Structure 1
Amino acid sequence: MEIFKNIGITAITSVVSIVVLFLLTKLMGSKQVSQMTAFDYIVGITIGSVAAELATDLEEPTQPLTALIIYGFAAFGISVLTSKSIRARGAVTGKPLILLEDGVIFRENLKKARLDLNEFLTYTRMSGYFDLSQVQTAVLEHNGVVSFLPKEPYRPATPSDMDLKPKQSHVQMPFVIDGKLLPKNIAQAGKEEAWVRRMLLKQGYRDERAVFLALWDGDSKLTAFPMDRTALSS
């Protein structure tokens, strides 16, 4: 019976640790998932380790739970502080480092960033610059990503360069997902379900059940993807 009791306690503490981790992640914000600073990285590893201990500590689960909550609120407090204080932000998240500017590679900044030349050249190639002379500025961001500003002759052409005025695009909104209309999205867009069905019919769909996904472009176009190859009417 003792083994079943331990299994039950482990299952409960595991669920509790998952719930607490989820709540703390929501509390600390999406930055904990992406664009992590060194502080975020350290806290994330520590919280994961404490959560694992919480799931397996059958004697005193309250101790790792308390530590987990303290770490979570500490991370939240630091994030609030860095959002309000520029000085604190610089101390915690760090400052960008210019690695290259106008044909000059800054050796001291490479040393500060713990980057050697081979690593730096790898970053340039990964960003599509195989000729370093095409780069005007390279900056190491606080999250470890290297940003590149190309020289004017090597940057992509834009419509304004060619004196063009293209129509502004909009984020596509789903009107049909998995064969079902989305009434809230349709109403929010100022459209009617009958309009959606007419647009689908023009594309060969007899009803929305044959559509896996339909996206509205913000104007008058509805792009539909069939549920399967035989979804289109003959």
Structure 2
Amino acid sequence: MDIFGIDITEWIWKSVIIVIAGTVLLRVAGRKSISQMTLAQTVIMIGIGSLLIQPLAGENIWSTLFVGSMLVITLIVVEYGQLKINSIEKLITGSSKILIEDGKLNLDNLRSVRLTVDQLETQLRLNKIANINDVKWATIEPNGQLGFQLKEQAKNSTKEDIQTLKVELQQVKQLLTQMVPAQASTVSYSTNQANYSNNSPIESLNKQLNDVKKQIQKLQNPKPNDLFEEVDKESHVKPPPEHLQ
């Protein structure tokens, strides 16, 4: 069937073959999303995408599919080599780099990966991290994704943590309620020393009660959002080096 000198039938069957073959090739190549791909995978996927459109431009469809298959086979061989030989993996994939260590920026690594402090802070905010000092480790992975680990004191409390503290607080209150009447019934002028010894556990419980209250307040009241305040004020709380601004 020709329309305006174009063989529509040929275009239809070529399009069907391209879709089927492309799906099979990409399925064999792997299931990773674009953000999870290594450099080699990205290059080969771009190559396959460019090749698959060639038959519609008049190129031979079978030679195109053959070249696409060779690209996928090459990718499989490279990935197998990465599994078996660490040096190949490091050469092709690269290695992770530390960007933040114990709340301090690693300026040399930031420069080597060409990442500015603003870009790093953007990733921190997207991960709901408000203060660089709260970060124990931050790394950039070979696929470009950033990984974070918070310090113990900066980790978010769970409902279980708060509930446990509330239970402990209730237990302390009950102990105080039980001890105070007993203390009052034994108070006398001639037993001052005994009263002192009875006051010691009460003072200890009061201290424990205050500590639990402070822990609950600390868990329920987050630290100031320094990185989020920077966005509102349009300025850095702590100015970064000029070459990384």
TM value normalised by structure 1: 0.62
SS class of match (2:53): helix
Q: Which has the higher strand share?
A: 1
Aligned letter for 2:138? A
Structure 2 gap segments, 5+ residues each: 165-245
Q: Which residue of 2 aligns with 1:118?
A: 118
| Aligned position for 1:9 | 10
Task: Indicate if the aligned counterparts of 2:104 and 2:132 stay in contact, CA closer than 8 A.
Answer: no
Q: Does 1:26 align with 2:2?
A: no
- RMSD of aligned residue pairs (Cα, Å): 2.4
- What is the CA distance between 1:2 and its match in structure 2? 4.1
For 1:166-205, what aligned pairs fall within 5 Å after superposition?
none
Amino acid paired to 1:100: I
Q: Distance in 1 between matches of 2:152 and 2:106?
A: 21
| Residues in 1 aligned to 2:62 and 2:156: alpha-carbon distance in whole angstroms | 57
Task: Write the distance in 1 (CA, Å) between the matches of 2:105 and 2:31.
Answer: 34
Secondary structure of residue in 1 paired with 2:32: helix
Mind listing any 5+ residue stretches in structure 1 that lack a counterpart? 165-234
- Work out which structure has the larger RCO, using CA pairs closer than 8 Å and 6 or more positions apart in sequence: 2
What secondary structure is seen at the aligned counterpart in 2 of 1:30? coil
Q: For residue 162 of structure 1, report the CA deviation from its aligned partner.
A: 8.2
**CA distance change for structure 1 residues 25 and 62 in 2, over 3 Å: closer, same or farther?**
same
Equivalent residue number for residue 44 of structure 1:
45
CA offsets 1:87-140 (integer angstroms, 9 cap, x no match)? 111111110110010132112211222211111111111111121111111010
Identity %: 26
**Aligned partners of 1:100 and 1:136 also within 8 Å:** yes
Q: Which amino acid aligns with 2:66?
A: T
**TM-score normalised by L of structure 2:** 0.60
Segments of 4+ moved more than 4 angstroms = 158-164
**What's the CA shift for 1:33?**
5.1
Q: Sort the Cα spacing of 1:73 and 1:52 in 2 relative to 1 into closer, same or farther, 3 A.
A: same
Q: 2:28, 2:127 → 1: CA distance?
A: 33
More helix per residue: 2
Between the two proteins, the alignment pairs up a number of residues equal to 163
**Code of the aligned partner of 2:15:** S
Distance 2:30 2:59 in 1: 32
Deviation at 1:49, TM superposition (A): 1.0
User: Is the contact made by 1:6 and 1:58 (CA closer than 8 Å) also made in structure 2?
Assistant: no
- 1:28·1:79 contact (CA, 8 Å) conserved in 2? no
Letter in 2 for 1:52: I
